[in-house]
Amino acid sequence: MSIKKIKVGSVFVNESKEITSKKDGKKYDVCDVNVKIADDCPDYAGRYIRLGVFGYTDPKDPTKNKTSKEKADYWKTQNDGKEVWLEINEEKYTDKDGFEATALRGKTLSKAKQEVAEQMSK
């Protein structure tokens, strides 16, 4: 896993789905987001990164609850066409034709990690 600054070319938000944890049986609301990296970005130009966005449930104030789709749509409005820091994991797999390929999985950074990444890049 590495933290990289990428330029977002476009964002596609999928429908949300409910998944069940194998560990404790809890159900989670998750939405997959496909991010196309801009063609002029030095790292991963023209490739796609898949992000998973989870819903948020506030135990004290239900008015702060957000579905995963709402959070993903908000992320899209805030980051479409901009440069963002993401934690990127490259996963090797064999495609249907038998060739080895690399899938990109991304994770958004907390504010603290973003600040550290900004400082390290200077």
| Percent of residues, the chain, with pLDDT higher than 70 | 98
How many domains does the chain divide into?
1
Query: 68-96: b or e for each residue (b if 16 or more CB lie within 10 Å)?
Result: bbbbbbebbeebeeeebbbbbeeeeeeee
How much is the average pLDDT of 98-119? Answer: 88
Find out whether 6 and 37 touch, Cβ atoms under 8 Å: yes
Beta bridge partners of 11: 35
Find out whether 31 and 71 touch, Cβ atoms under 8 Å: yes
| Percent of residues, the chain, with pLDDT higher than 90 | 50
Q: The tokens of 55 are what?
A: 């819903």
CATH number at residue 50: 2.40.50
| Domain containing residue 106 | 2-121
pLDDT at 1 over 80: no
Look at the pTM and tell me if it is higher than 0.85. no
How much is the average pLDDT of 93-118? Answer: 88
The pLDDT of residue 71 is 92
Instruction: Return the residue matching tokens 């992320």.
Output: 75
Q: What is the largest CA-CA distance in the chain?
A: 51
How much is the average pLDDT of 40-46? Answer: 87
The more confident residue out of 92 and 117 is: 92
